[in-house]
A and B are shown apart, each in its own frame.
Chain A
Amino acid sequence: MLHRRLPVRRPAKALLAATAAIALFATAACSSGGSGSNSSDSGGSQKTIHLALGQDVDTLLPMDSNVGDNIGVLDVVFDGLVRYDPKTTKPYNYVAQSIETTDNKVWTIKIKKDLTFSNGEPVDAASFARSWNYSAYGPNAMANNYYFERIDGYDAMQGETDDDGNVTVKPKAKELSGVKVVDDLTLQVTLTAPFAGFSTMLGYTGFFPAAKACIDDIKACSKKPIGNGPFKIDNWNQGVELTASKRKDYKLPEVPNYDKIDWKEYAGSSSWPDFQAGDLDLGAPPPEQWQQANNDPDLSSRKVTKETADLTYLGFPLYRKNRPWDNIEFRKAISMAIDRQKIIDTVVPSQSVPATSWVAPTIPGGKAGTCEWCKYDPAAAKAALQKAGGWPSGKVLNIYLGKDDTNEAYFKAIGDQLALNLGIKYKLIPSEDFFAERSARKFDGAYRNNWFPDYPLNENFLAPVYSSGDPKNGNTNFGYYDADFEKAIKEGDQAPDIDSAIAKYQEAEHVLAKDFPTIPLDFSNSVTFYSERVDNIVINPFSGATELRQLKYVG
């Protein structure tokens, strides 16, 4: 710390200042001593699970939740029309009695009867329509807004703005014309175009229902949502602790055997020491503690590893012309100069597997090996680089990514390998504002990208990431456009059944493999350590989260 010479003048004044300050501190500190939540272990004989919420969860509104931690909490507070089998990822009806369609365009959803929200309101067709309309209405600025793009009437609910951001056209409609409440338990959805995967989407958080009391007071609902799932939120001390307890009036079968859940929030620091001390039931060590955790025989006997569908890949700004990466040989060179396995073994041991495809193999339609140049071959890399015309000497390759210690170490290793194998100097540019800059197309160099699927279908890895319908500019993040790709996606959307849809989407992935616009790097594993109080840790293969409804409390 820098030293300042402190003033030694006017003693009385100083004394007064200090006294005032201390008095202020003491009264304020003492008077608010009891502001903490009081639900930690007061359950007595109630079985409580203690978990960590890693990110700064800002809202518990399903319409606004698209981040891993929110989704994890909402998975026990809400039920969707369908849920996903943890082993196969295939959807099965849960709140829905049946979901039928003849043409993949008009879907009739029948809801099971006598289901209620935690406040007594019925879970009916209207409750789904209510929630979906709220999300789809543009001015509400809900995070899950774009999921309703495929439903008729979506466009009329978005306004239009000119280049300066001034609203030129206000939204014409407040409700999706394609969503019709036929009767109490029947919902009819009309899509803008046939999409065989629609029923698969319905298990996602954005499609959860909403009670009328929730929409009436949306602010209160984001803090204490009114759900239709097995647990209800008791109290949320935002930024600190979230507690939930089991509902007594829950009717459906998927209910865990414990009574309360206590989430502790960790904003930026690691929850690992708390797990080691026995205060948490699930945990994962930071990279520096990894070796010690794995070498501990007791701890490593309580570890579960599962491959997930979380893809990390390297992208290039193809919207910038006259760059070395315009040439596919250059991109091949980069890809083959990276020793994926070695990097994983050193930076994130056992926590990833090298990727050889753009779609996760654990997802319906995903297959390993679609990427021809995702292997480590430094000689071939050098040859490809030469074929591409080499790298201008002295030029530096920028590598952009978000701020995260592990990712920075990982991509530093990539840069180092490019320097060693291809002689390309690099500069790592981690930035807090990564997403903003990527959307604004500010990058001039390679950048890290990450994708984990919203619903288990290979289409989710392809269309939202690469499709644009804009031959001139390509898609926002990469500037990529290929007519064959768009055609294959469209044909998949229009396919008569889910299996032929999947086959068409696979063709789209082959187009990607041929064009090679981005370089797949790895798929994460989800590794979780668990305490002696719990058992049956089942990891959801496409979110990587532990299935809370499968978790068993064994004391």
Chain B
Amino acid sequence: MVSYVVRRVLLGLLTVFLVLLLLHLLTTLAIQLNGNPALAFFGDHVPSASQLHAVEVRYGLDDPCYDQPGNPCLRPFWERLAQYAHGDFGTDLQGRPLTELIAQAVPNTLRLFVIVTITWLIIGMMLGSVAARFRGRPIDHSIRLTSVLIDAFPVFVMLVVYRFIFTVPLTTWARRTFGSDSVPALLFKPSYSDSHPWLTLIVPGLLLGLTGCAPFLRLVRAAQLENYNAEHVRTARSKGLSNAHVTGYHIVRNSSVPVVTAVGFVFADALSGAVITEGVMNIRGMGNLLWQSVQKSDVSVVIGVVTILSVVTIGVMLLVDLAYAALDPRIRYD
């Protein structure tokens, strides 16, 4: 058992290291190809060599290897590793500590994800169960077609249209009817508001969740259909149990497990949708942070954010693997 744990942890560390190295190489190459962000600092004015150098020092990009395309820039890499080992995750181009940026961004994105997950669960389970229950009938087909339609619908179209057509009239109406600070008024507020984080995130989260729920829905339907034909269900039916009991007790419960698996992948997939949602709705979240820093070639932030995401993902998978190994002896002797 111990050797298994040690092996898995070492493997996890190795993966994290590889991710860091890969990111470093990619961002270094990008700077070499796109130009040093220090030059962008000066905007329309042209800097002298020493002014440029001073800014490069300020950005931590003063190593001459950044001027040579193809140079892997290993010295800055080791320096960064050493910093990470000491818990210093660096700063963005303006000197703001990365930990501060992430502390500000993570709660917003997590709240968005919670709403997205709930939306997926409710709509997916509901409609997926209905589709499975009435398999083959028109309602099944229409649910499947609608899910495909929503799936193909680009999320940004919904968000942009919602923001520019619906929010203003809805907010004005809600304020007039219920009052300025009422729940409906905040629900339809055109932009995210930091003083009412949950309320102003519900609608964006719902819209984002809508667009991603189609695969979920199909999975629920497929999982339940498998169970419909399974032996334990046929046994239950032949025992004379009602359809409702059979559906609720045996089918839904047994098909929940693969469904819950899917929820476990929400974090990774939904992050990409979050970039768009956070951008359009002006939410200061991880997706927006990553996107802005990639645009600005803000190396420290890009590497820091993606590393943290990878560490969390790998860490969770590692914990689960270990827990499973503790439960299932067969794995340990792999």
- Please give the residue numbers on chain A whose beta carbons come within 8 Å of chain B beta carbons, in ascending order: 1, 3-4, 6-8, 10-22, 24-26, 28-29, 32-33, 35-38, 40, 56, 58-59, 66-67, 138-141, 143, 145-146, 158-161, 164-167, 219, 222, 237-241, 264, 266-269, 271-274, 276-279, 288-289, 403, 432-433, 435-437, 439-440, 442, 449-451, 464-465, 475-477
Q: Please encode chain B, from 263 to 280, with 1 for each CB lying within 8 Å of some chain A CB and 0 for all others.
A: 111110100010000011
- Check B215–A238 contact: CB distance below 8 A: no
Q: Which of B2-10, B78-86, B231-239, B317-325 contacts A (4 or more CB under 8 A)?
A: B317-325
Secondary structure of the B side of the interface? helix
**A222, A277, A288: which contacts B171 (Cβ < 8 A)?**
A277
30 A-B residue pairs with Cβ-Cβ distance under 8 Å, sorted by A, are A8-B261, A10-B324, A12-B324, A16-B323, A16-B324, A17-B316, A18-B260, A18-B261, A21-B316, A25-B117, A28-B106, A29-B114, A32-B106, A58-B94, A59-B94, A158-B51, A161-B52, A165-B64, A241-B194, A268-B288, A273-B168, A273-B191, A274-B189, A274-B190, A288-B164, A435-B42, A436-B39, A439-B47, A450-B44, A476-B46
For residues 21 through 46 of chain B, which have their beta carbon under 8 Å from a beta carbon of chain A?
Answer: 34-37, 39-46
Question: Whole-angstrom distance from the CB of A238 to the nearest CB of chain B?
Answer: 7
Q: From B151, which residue of chain A is reached at the shortest CB distance?
A: A1
For residues 185 through 215 of chain B, which have their beta carbon under 8 Å from a beta carbon of chain A?
Answer: 189-191, 193-198, 211-212, 215
- Please give the residue numbers on chain B whose beta carbons come within 8 Å of chain A beta carbons, in ascending order: 34-37, 39-58, 62, 64, 67, 93-96, 103-104, 106-107, 110-111, 113-114, 117, 151, 163-164, 167-168, 171-172, 175, 189-191, 193-198, 211-212, 215, 219, 223, 257-258, 260-267, 269, 273, 279-282, 284, 288, 292, 295-297, 316-317, 319-321, 323-324, 327-328
- Check A161–B53 contact: CB distance below 8 A: yes
**B107, B171, B258, B263: which contacts A33 (Cβ < 8 A)?**
B107
- Check B284–A267 contact: CB distance below 8 A: yes
Chain A residues with CB below 8 A from B297, complex form: 433
Q: Which of B282, B297, B324 has the most CB of A within 10 A?
A: B282
- Check A239–B264 contact: CB distance below 8 A: no
Known: A35-B104, A433-B40. A167 touches B316 (CB 8 A): no
**A8, A12, A477: which contacts B223 (Cβ < 8 A)?**
A8
Chain B residues with CB below 8 A from A266, complex form: 191, 282
State in angstroms the CA–CA spacing of A433 and B226 once bound together. 53
Chain B residues with CB below 8 A from A464, complex form: 45
**B40, B151, B263: which contacts A18 (Cβ < 8 A)?**
B263
Q: From B174, which residue of chain A is reached at the shortest CB distance?
A: A277
Q: From A19, which residue of chain B is reached at the shortest CB distance?
A: B260
State in angstroms the CA–CA spacing of A29 and B47 once bound together. 44
Known: A11-B258, A273-B191, A433-B34. A160 touches B324 (CB 8 A): no
- Check B320–A20 contact: CB distance below 8 A: yes
- Check A165–B320 contact: CB distance below 8 A: no
State in angstroms the CA–CA spacing of A311 and B172 once bound together. 38
